[in-house]
A = this chain, B = another copy of it.
Amino acid sequence: MAVSVLTQKKNAPTGNPVDKLLAATADDMAKVNSLILSRAESHVDMVPELARYLIESGGKRLRPMLTVAAALLFGKGKGNEVNFAAAVEFMHNATLLHDDVVDESDMRRGKPAARMVWGNKASILVGDFLLGQAFMMMVETGDIQALGVLSAASAVMAEGEVFQLAKTGDLTTTEADYAEVIRAKTAVLFKAACEVGAMSGGADAAGRAALAQYGLELGNAFQLVDDALDYGGQSGALGKNVGDDLREGKMTLPVILALAEGSEAERAIIAGALGKVDASELEVSQVVAIFNRHNTLARTLEKARAHADAAVEALAGLPDSEMKTLLGEVVLHSVSRAS
C-alpha cells in the first residue's frame, strides 16, 4: 500500500505541480541540498567556487526531486534516496559543465556559463570531480544494484552525447537517430533517477519497472519540449537564445521533419543556416517559417505529449495515492510549458 506524503502536509500548495512536488519532497530535499553543498566542498578553492556557481544558479532540481518522490511513493524508504538524489544531480551538473564546453555555450540558466568565468579547462575537470563525488555517494549506500543502474546511465549519456556530436550538421540524420540521441543523452538519467528512487523506497520488480518507464517517457517528453522551445520559446526564458540549436548544427526533430518534407528551396535555406555560428535572427526566422509551414514544431510537441501520456500510463498499475497523482501532473505540466 503506497503511503502519501501529501496527506501529511497541512499546507500543500495548489497550482503548479512542480511546486507541489517541491512541497511533497521538502524534508528529504533539504537533506539532499545540504549533501550537495557539502560534497561540492574541496580544499582546492576553485572546485566549490565553480561547482556552487552552477549548482546554486537556480536549476529546478527536478531529477533529484523525482528520486525522492519515487522513494516516497513506495514509502518503505531505506534513506538511500538522499544519496541517490544528490548523486543524480551531480551527474546532471557534470554533464552540463561538459556540454557547455562541447557546445561552446556562453549562457546557462540566464547567466554566463561557468566556462565563461573559470574557463573550459576548469569546467572539464570540475565536471570530472562531480562525477567522482557522485559515485562516492552511491557507493556509500552499499546498494550495488542501484549502482549498476546509475553507472550504466553514466556511460549511455556520454555515448548519446558522442552520437549527437557525430550527427551534428548531418542532413541524413533520421527520426530514429534523433530518438536514440534524446533517449541516451536525456531520458536515461530521468529513468535512472526514478528507478533508483523506487528501489530505495522498497518497490517490488513491477514498481521498479513502472518508475523506470515513467522516467524514460518523462525524459523523452522533456527533451522534445526543450528542442521545440529552442525555436519557439521567448529569448531569456530558457537562459538561451532562440535558434541556438540551429547555429550549433543540432539535428533535432523540427529540423529533421522539415528537411524530410521541405522543397528543394526550403532544404537549401535550412542547410545554409545549420551549424552557422553567426546565423542572423533573419536567417533563424526564415527557418522557423519553414517549420511553421510544415508544422514541425507543433508535431514535435505532439510527440512530447504522446511520451507524457505514456509516462502517466506507466504508473497506471500502481495503487492510487496523492504522490502518484502528483507525478502524473508533473509530466503534464512539463509538456504544457511549451504550449
Contact = CB atoms under 8 A, between A and B. Distances in A.
B46 A166 contact: yes
A101 interface: yes
Given A135-B154, A155-B133, A158-B132, A125 B44 contact: no
Contacts of A47: 159, 162
Given A46-B166, A125-B165, A132 B155 contact: yes
A151 B139 contact: yes
B139 A142 contact: no
A126 B120 CA distance: 17
> What is the oligomeric copy number?
2
Interface of A: 42, 44-47, 94, 98, 101-102, 120-122, 124-126, 128-129, 131-133, 135-136, 138-140, 142, 144, 147-148, 151-159, 161-163, 165-166
A131 to B, nearest CB: 6
Contact of A129 (B94, B121, B126, B162): B162
A135 B91 CA distance: 13
A163 B44 contact: yes
A122 B147 CA distance: 26
8 contacts: A42-B162, A46-B165, A46-B166, A125-B161, A125-B165, A132-B153, A136-B148, A136-B155
Nearest to A153: B132
Contact of A132 (B45, B144, B157): B157
Given A136-B155, A139-B151, A128 B44 contact: no
Contact of A126 (B128, B138, B162): B162
Contacts of A157: 128, 132
Which DSSP category, helix, strand, loop or mixed, fits chain A's interface? helix
A133 B152 CA distance: 7
Contacts of A126: 158, 162
Contacts of A45: 166
A36 to B, nearest CB: 14
A138 B138 CA distance: 13
Nearest to A140: B148
A101 to B, nearest CB: 6
A47 B184 CA distance: 14
A128 B161 contact: yes
A1 to B, nearest CB: 31
A131 B154 contact: yes
A105 B135 CA distance: 29
B125 A158 contact: yes
A151 B154 CA distance: 14
Contacts of A140: 148
Nearest to A155: B132
Given A126-B158, A147-B147, 7 more contacts: A42-B162, A124-B124, A128-B158, A132-B153, A132-B156, A136-B151, A144-B144
